[in-house]
Structure 1
Amino acid sequence: MSADLPRRLGVAFGMLLALTLPAAAAICERVEHDGQGYVLCEVTAAQEGALRLWQDGPDGAPLRHFANLRRVLAPGESLAFAMNAGMFHADYRAVGLLVIDGVELSPIVTGASNDNFGMLPNGVFCSGGAQPFAVIESRTFAQTRPDCRLATQSGPMLVIEGELHPRFLVDSTSRYIRNGVGVSADGQTAWFAISNRPVTFHEFGRFFRDGLGVPNALYFDGSVSRLYAPSVRRADFGRSMGPIIGLVGQDG
């Protein structure tokens, strides 16, 4: 993690268990912000090439679970961490834009809808473009069509140019275990986070804006939020997932 992260978070860190991953050293940490606990996984620009996005296995069937994902890794590869990476249809395919290794598998969706995905503005997480990482509002993305090695669309945006999504309510009673991604202002670092307990959109957005200081952050999901992170001894099971994002390293 960045050396100044504890200062920016103002949090208490739990015991850390580091992974030994020579090709892509990733550490996920347990942190707290405003009384809520989170697991936070950092990916730096130097690790961008080891970040991957999955939807289907070699047989064309959706992976759906971390156990299936681990089975399709190449010999000698291991997962530093992985989490669900956006919303999906009943067949587990992405709702909006999905780009894997530069190939668009699902087109961008820019219209509003009554679900969380369509709570505009929503956005796209882009990796391997003009800068290592970016979170870009979906309509802007559709107009500019930036190159991305990996891209996944979801919604709503949590933080938009330093401001919380305008529809987030400080006194909301809607609470879920939520996960998402935020990107540093210089595009050199991406932080993937999941709450330990149910939180509101407002609480989750403030974690990214006030705790991490990111100008833009994107919500991935709530009711199906899952994390695989050996460094904190966490492997969530339960409901099937659609797209999955994670960092791959080499067995030491």
Structure 2
Amino acid sequence: MKHALAITAALLVLAGCEIQGGEPVTRTEIGSKSEERVQLRRQASACEVATFEGVPLTHCVADPAKHAIATVLADPEGTLYRSLKTYGAALGEQARVVAFATNAGMFDGEGKPIGYYVEQGERLKELDRSDGQGNFYLKPNGVFFGTGGKWEIRTADSFFANVGARPQFGTQSGPMLVIDGKLHPEFQDDGPSRAIRNGVGVDAEGKAHFVISEAPISFGQLARYFRDELKTPNALYLDGGVSALWDPVIERLDNGASIGPLIVVTKRATASP
């Protein structure tokens, strides 16, 4: 697959320069390390621990000056990865260029995207603006997409009306968490529905913020964290109980229920000053 070739190319440049629904995932830090070593690794990670309204979170930042973003679904033979663990194992030494990865938009029983999905400029699923049941159809839903170092989040209707050129990557999910600085109109401040959840938002500087809760959180709490703490005018819910994160730096690899498409953030060979 073209994405695997792109990672291989990035790895060679670096060397020359010097995973909807399901059971909660298992979160682990692999190996026995001293606290000092763990702290050093955390400082080098693109992710940090945070707390909002008493809920522990992990917050990862993709910076266009330092990172590239891609969506990934299957191996070169077309077999869906279905987990971060399987994807990481397939990369082997190429995993060195991965800053972090997480589950992308929602998916069907086979693990295929149920909404708009683009990988390496190839559209594998069209935009879905129909009505239905479940979180995906809690309108407005939206699309996280980008080309090069420009990343955006738009509602599905805004994407349909305003985006003409096909992006390099794109994934549709729902509901939107924050829309032009306002919370989704169906959210309560702290509603009764609580689960392990994750989402993505893009701030005014163009950085993409990925957040995954380490304990059950309501939609309203997660949305307010993006709006009030991360200052992202638009943010998109990715998924619930299957939410998972791979952070190679601290050797965290969440593994649990099968997931669908992935969002992979890789380190650029050269970063802007």
Shift of 1:118: 0.5
Given candidates 84, 87, 90, the residue that maps to 2:106 is: 87
Aligned residue in 2 for 1:210: 228
> Is 1:121–1:137's contact at 8 Å kept on the other side of the alignment?
yes
Give the share of equivalent positions with the same residue, in percent. 37
Cα gap change, 1:171/1:179 in structure 2, threshold over 3 Å: closer, same or farther? closer
Cα drift, residue 232 of structure 1? 4.3
Q: 1:140 to 1:16 in 2, by over 3 A?
A: farther
Gaps of 5+ in 1: 1-13, 21-25
- Where structure 2 has 5 or more consecutive residues not aligned to the other structure, the ranges are 1-37
Given residue 225 of structure 2, which amino acid in structure 1 is its aligned partner? F
Normalising by the residue count of structure 2, what TM-score does the alignment of the two structures yield?
0.78
TM-superposition CA deviations, 1:204-227 (whole Å, max 9, x none) = 001100110110000000021111
Amino acid at match of 2:200: V
Tell me: CA distance 1:16–1:87, structure 2 relative to 1, closer, same or farther (3 Å).
farther
Runs of 4+ residues deviating >4 angstroms = none
1:17 aligns to 2:35 (yes or no): no
SS at structure 1 position matched to 2:61 = strand
Give the structure 1 partner of residue 132 of structure 2. Answer: 113
The structural deviation recorded for 1:250 is 8.4
Contact 1:30-1:232 at 8 Å conserved across structures:
no
Asked if 1:31 corresponds to 2:55, the answer is no
Determine the structure 1 residue equivalent to 2:218: 200
**RMSD of equivalent CA atoms:** 2.2
The two structures have a TM-score, normalised by structure 1, of: 0.84
Q: Specify the code of the residue in structure 2 equivalent to 1:17.
A: R
Higher helix share: 2
Question: What is aligned with 1:182?
Answer: 201
The Cα offsets for residues 14-40 of structure 1, whole Å up to 9 and x where unpaired, read as: 9562486xxxxx511111122211111
Higher relative contact order (CA 8 A, sep 6+): 2
Of 163, 169, 179 in structure 2, the residue corresponding to residue 150 of structure 1 is: 169
2:177 maps to a residue whose letter is L
1:143, 1:198 → 2: CA distance?
35
| Closer/same/farther in 2, CA of residues 217 and 90 from structure 1, 3 Å limit | same
The answer (yes or no) to whether the contact 2:190–2:221 under 8 Å persists in 1 is no
SS at match of 1:127: strand
How far off its partner does 1:52 sit? 1.9
Which one has a bigger Cα radius of gyration?
2
Find the counterpart in structure 1 of residue 187 from structure 2.
168
2: CA distance, partners of 1:110 / 1:127: 20
CA distance in 1, matches of 2:43, 2:150: 23
What amino acid does structure 1 have at the position aligned with 2:78?
Answer: G
State the aligned residue count: 230
Deviates more, 1:60-69 or 1:70-79: 70-79
